[in-house]
Amino acid sequence: MKASPSLLPVLRSRMQGELLALVLLHPEREYTITELAAEVGVTPTAVLREVDRLTGGGILTDRKVGRSRLVKARTDTPLYRPLSELMSVSFGPMPLLAEALSKLAGVQRAYIYGSWAARYSGQPGPPPADVDVLVVGDPDPDELFDLAEDASRRLRREVNAHRVSGEAWEARTDDPFLTSVRERPLVQLNLDPEA
C-alpha cells in the first residue's frame, strides 16, 4: 500500500488529493472519467474506482450522457465547504496556479518548488507555509505580482512568484538560486487547458 501523501496525511493517496482538489475547486464544471485521468495522470480505471468511492460517500455527484459519465462536486452537502477549503490549502496550488498562469501572456512554463513541492513529492516535514512558483518566460511583472496576490488570497497562504527568462532557465549556470531550484523537487504545472 502506498504511503499517505505528505501534503495531507489523512488521504489515502496523492491521486485522491489531486482528484478532490481538481473537482472541488471547480464546482461549476463537469468532468468525464477520461478528462480526470488525464489531468491527474493515472489510468481511467484508477479514477473510476476513486469516483465510485466519492460518489458513494456523497462528496461527488455523477450522471450519464450517452456513454460518458460526467462527474462534479456535490455542493449541496455540509461536507462541501470544509472539504473544499482543506483541498485548497493542501492540493489546491496545482489546479489554481495552472489555471491562472495558463491565461497570463508570456508564460512558457511554470513550476512549484520549495517546501510545497517537497511535501508533494513525498518528503516528510511540516506543512508548507507558502508556495514558491518559478515562472519561465517574460510575463508582465505587474500582472504576475497581481496573479500571485490573488492566488495567495484564494489559497490562504503566501504565493511567491519568481520570474526567469527561458534562456536563463535552459542555460547551464552557476546562479545559486537556479542551482538550488534545480536540485530540489520541482512540480511542473500543466498550462495546456486541453491536455
Say what the pLDDT of residue 102 is: 94
Domain boundary among 90, 109, 127: 90
What does the pLDDT read at residue 130?
A: 94
Could you give the percent of the chain with pLDDT greater than 70? 96
pLDDT tens, 93-128?
A: 998 999 999 999 999 999 999 999 998 888 888 888
Task: Please check whether residues 168 and 103 belong to one and the same domain.
Answer: yes
Residue with grid cell 482528484, as numbered in its chain? 19
Residue 19: count of CB within 10 angstroms of its CB? 27
Question: CATH code at 177?
Answer: 3.30.460.10
Look over the chain and give the mean of its residue pLDDT values, rounded to a whole number: 91
Out of 60, 90, 120, a domain closes at 90
pLDDT above 50 for 195: no
Whole-number pLDDT of residue 9: 77
Instruction: Give the CATH number, domain containing residue 20.
Output: 1.10.10.10
Asked if the structure places residue 193 within a domain, the reply is no
CB-side exposure of 21: number of CA atoms within 13 Å?
Answer: 26
* Domain total in the chain: 2
Position with higher pLDDT, 7 vs 138: 138
Write the pLDDT tens digit of every residue in 29-61.
Answer: 999 999 999 988 899 999 999 999 999 999 999
Please give the Cα distance from 40 to 15 (Å, whole number): 7
- Classified as helix, coil or strand, 150 is helix
Of 72, 90, 108, the one marking the end of a domain is 90
| 83 shares its domain with 155 | no
Q: Report the alpha-carbon distance of residue 186 to residue 195 in Å, rounded.
A: 20
Q: Which three cell numbers stand for residue 80?
A: 462541501
Instruction: Give the span between the Cα atoms of 130 and 166, in whole angstroms.
Output: 24
Domain that holds residue 67: 14-90
CA distance 60 to 77: 10
Asked whether residue 46 is assigned to any structural domain, the reply reads yes
